Structure 1
Amino acid sequence: MKKVVIILIFFYPVFLTASETDTTTWNGKNVTFLAGEILVGLQSWADEGDIASTLSQINGVIIKDFDQLNIGLIKIQNNNNIHSAINSLKYNAAVLYAEPNIEMSVLSTYPNDPYYVGTAPPPYNYAHQWGLYNFGQNPPTGRTDADIDAPEAWDYETGSSSIKIAVFDSGIPMIGDSLSHPDLDDVSRIIIGEDFTTEQNTVKDSLGHGTHVAGIIGAETNNNEGIAGVAHGCKIIIFQTVAENGYGTVSSFYDAVIAAVDSGVQVINFSGGWVTYEETIKRAVEYADNAGIVQIYAAGNEAGDGLRFPARFAYGPKAIEVVDSVQGSLHLLQNWNAYGSVISVASTNSYDAQSSFSSYDPDSNYISVAAPGGEGSGWPSIVFGSSDIFSTTPNYPFAIQQGHPEVSTSYGYLAGTSMAAPHVAGIAGLILSRFTTLSASDVRNVIEKSAEDVNWRSMLGFDKYLGHGRVNAFYAVAPPVTPSNFSGTWYNTHPKISWNSNIEPDLKHYLILKNNVPYITTTNNYYIDFSESQYSIGNPKVYVSYKVKAVDITDQSSNSSTSLSFAINGGIEKKEAGEEIISEAIDSYGLFSNYPNPFNPSTQIVYQIPKEGFVNLTIYNTLGQVVQTLVNKKQTVGKYTVEFNANNLPSGVYIFKLQADEFSSTKKMVIAK
């Protein structure tokens, strides 16, 4: 019979045994469940006393008390009568639903961390984390910028310790009672939660999957050790819902959700799932949704065989034919809602294409977004390697290695939507750290609107394979760039201003300032002002000035463009102001990542200086040779945007360096032609 897998994303043989299990058919699927265990939801007015006679009839006992959602767990002695027992419970008016406790399986600033920057000892001296920063490195080969733009995002946000991300998985490396992995041992950030798989109450990871997921989200960064985590400033709380054999249950997921809400987390990541709809799963998701928690769920690794639950809860249902266990008749199951806090995550490879294993529904759109999850070469007889996702693994032998000896101790490669989901969870942590008042549905909206439409299969816009596209952390947290090529002319007797459209996918509108006062918003990249008739002819010349800013969906705005002034009366004149100095207080030096990056042929470099002084901004190649000097003069306090055109330069990595008095900073840029 088919196991009900969670979703770890990778594929490995199961060698270990868990609690006693059995198989049955449920909601039209072959499933594995814990022998004799039934999840029961009671009506709001009922309590366990109302089912006492039914429990006696089916020879059942309560093994987990009914909680605040009136859900409990019972066990019957004769497992052969599981359907009969469920039917008896459903005939009791106090019972809202009853279902087997079904098993799941898992799916599997520039930091100085050696596996991130490529300074590990040979033969590992290459940048392993292409999902964070992909410049076409080999291995694994791929498409430049097929990544989440993590280093560009870190210029703006690395995560706040006030944000807690819950990881529901197989645990975290521990030796004794202590965190043991050098990239996951910061006790001020890594919180040991509860174990919902055994009675041992330890979250030690004996499987290896949970460690990999936790590292993607929040591995310690800038510690000259291992890898970099997406949201390395956020806290992570570990709840063990997956056992050493790679399986967990509906009840373990449900219990973890209740505990996570009680712990005050803002984000849940669960890289697992079930092929069947379960009422208890829905009620757990609904409980987290009501608590305002962002929920990140992996789509699954079944290619076109459909998504798993709870990922499907990102969108409403389609009609599903199931057999009614009481009446024995076919009916349509249409009893779940779409939850605005739920984000379903597909997987992309290093070429920004859908991973071959990534689940989708052939007939419906259930995918929210996609994120790097690897390729899983040779799927389903997979051998993990450099085309997959590199992250932390336990610093001792673990179960995955029994089927995949190529997965090394301490750090290694895995693939799957299990690895894609934590990239998105990390971005959610960055967003909530930067925009503290956003709701869970707001965070989902930012993640979806800031995703890049990578046009896999030449499909423009939202599609059933990758949803809104591959996520982009930089677009999600950074303000828009200043609109370029701001210019003006006369249209009949009125000023007309225009500018180049911004490329950010999460752009909301442009704000036009008139005489330095917010005047009007527009979604066009031009504006014609018809209001200047208020100035009568014959008066002395009246100059009206215009600027434009770009505004994104988080209401962050770019710097103002340069100013254009029109002489309304006494002749037609246009006056361009010089370099624009922003009005905000500048109290520190700063050199920011260029945008776009990679680029062809031009990009913008932004820097700021807190006091008047001599400034030099120069471009170098990787040999240290000067390519072009962009700025070499005295400048006053302010933030500046300089355009660099590389039309005559070959593709490759270049360095730009800012020197201003005692301040010096360098960053990388990539020309991709």
Structure 2
Amino acid sequence: MHRRHGISQKEAQIQVIGVIEVSGGVRSGHPDLSGKVSGDAAYSDHGTHVAGIAAAKTNNNTGIAGVDWNAQIVSQQIGDDPSTYSAIMDAVQTYDSDILNNSWVTCVAGTCLDPVPQPRYSTLVRRAFANAYKLNVVSTAAMGNYNTTNTYYPAGFGQGIIAVGATNRNDSRWVSSSSSGSNKGNHIDVGAPGQDIYSTVVGGYGWNTGTSMATPHVSGIAGLMLAVNPNLYNDDIEQIIRMSADKVTAMNGQNFTNEYGYGRVNARKALDLLRSPYAVAHYTATGGSIVSSTGTYTTVIYDAPGLASAVYIVKRHEVRRTVSFPSNQSVSVWGRGAASKGWNIESPNFSLPWVGVVPGTVTSTGATLRTYVYQVWDEVGHYKGYYPATASNAIFAYTVHGIPDPLPDPPPAPTNLTVTGTTGQHPYLTWTASSGATGYKVYRCANTYYTCSSFFQIGSTTSTSFTDTGKIIGSGCLGGGDEITQYYVKAYNTGGDSNPSNTAATCTNPSKRSVATDAPDVPATFALHAAYPNPFNPATEIRFDLPEAVPVTLVVYDATGREVARLVDGPLAAATHAVTFDATDLPSGVYLVRLAAGPFAQTRRVVLLK
């Protein structure tokens, strides 16, 4: 899956929202922010200060440098819940913002100016952040400045939010009085510098303190991470920021505390975890088994495709799937909700896609994942079906982070390739196995001359034999109207492909492919047939019809749109062709097979279940 935006290698879009008490945004004309700000024209000291921390210019002999000084800023004003919802959706849908920086809290009307305002949960605002998460957007939020364990929002919304506390110059939690200090709670993710932070303000520069100042530090780090790897998902960024945080002295050796979360952020460590020898690998798996179920209960479901936002009767099922992946050292595994099909257990439920790792199951080569699917009835008992999918159609998107084990050398080239068969039969290829090979790729070139330079892959196999069902052996090459068809084979493993084997040749009839009749077997129309078997493991056959000789590509893509196999790439004769897709080295998941043949194109889905 590609990200929703087209950021360059050194640029990310960061949205900065002013605090809820202030109808203001970012001063676009500030010399350290000029040319970087779009969105609402209104501005305030608070929003301008936050923006400077995240993204002020550098190397301009002026003022300060932001954490991600190449980032762009989208300024949005907020106020009541509907305007806040609109501001968030405008930022992600109109401006394609990658990161939502939220240095504000919602509070009960009439208490917002109190020293310790009363926190308020907003369903509408939660829906906005849920929608942003589904669009693969990173959201950071300030914990609040009231030195309390009360949960303030949006920091307390949970999934899809990086909740940020403030630390002081001594790497301790910032506290200035009994009612002024960084809030605590089990929903905090990390701490960041928040005391006496110097940054841009409307009239120049100034000092400010609070979790509002800590939060844009994390937003800036997220922008830097996207500059290093634009393919990161929002869950990748959150997990790596947590993993790279320093365990400060006051944490007493604990991995997590309610005061510091997973520690004080460390930008250098976060970026180092994206560079060699570390690797971030994305995988998907489809289908799992139900391991437990609830009884029926009533909940509200919001913003689910195919369901009106309303009260429903539901039964929740936990679905698990064990996956395997190439061996890694220092391995970490987490789910990527934005690419998954399965919900979390929130009630009310905002149809947030979620995949988690079952604790204690991660090894260097595998893990067990879980998600939840729901049976849904309306309030009068009419059955609506499974949402967002049945257990067999749940999609588990997950990330593996670690130091990959060294890849083996590619195997040696296969030897002793021969092609046999009698007139009217399919060519049958055999060869001698290559040590260390996990499979073989078969290449063909057909020509009316002995010299042939345009070889293309026609299939793959894990055995040392292959039947070319796309060709029929003819009666003679020279003067008999037949073509000369040549083959070679490459061995492969995770280290790459071998050199080609020796070349073997036979004569084939260009107008026939069927062994059952001598009559030409030319289809009437183009078609890509359903693969069989499907689901499959590890190989499936893909057949397609060509009513005329045309250039052909047959390519397999994973669920993110990445090409994983090119099965055919070259001209083919008019016939029904069959190609084997061998997915031995691919993870379980949904794959798209796309045929492009002259003026025709068609795509079909295949499911690999291991």
TM range (shorter): 0.3 to 0.5
Alignment TM-score, normalising by the size of structure 1: 0.37
Structure with the greater alpha carbon radius of gyration: 2
Between structures 1 and 2, the one with greater strand share: 2
Q: How high is the TM-score relative to the length of structure 2?
A: 0.41
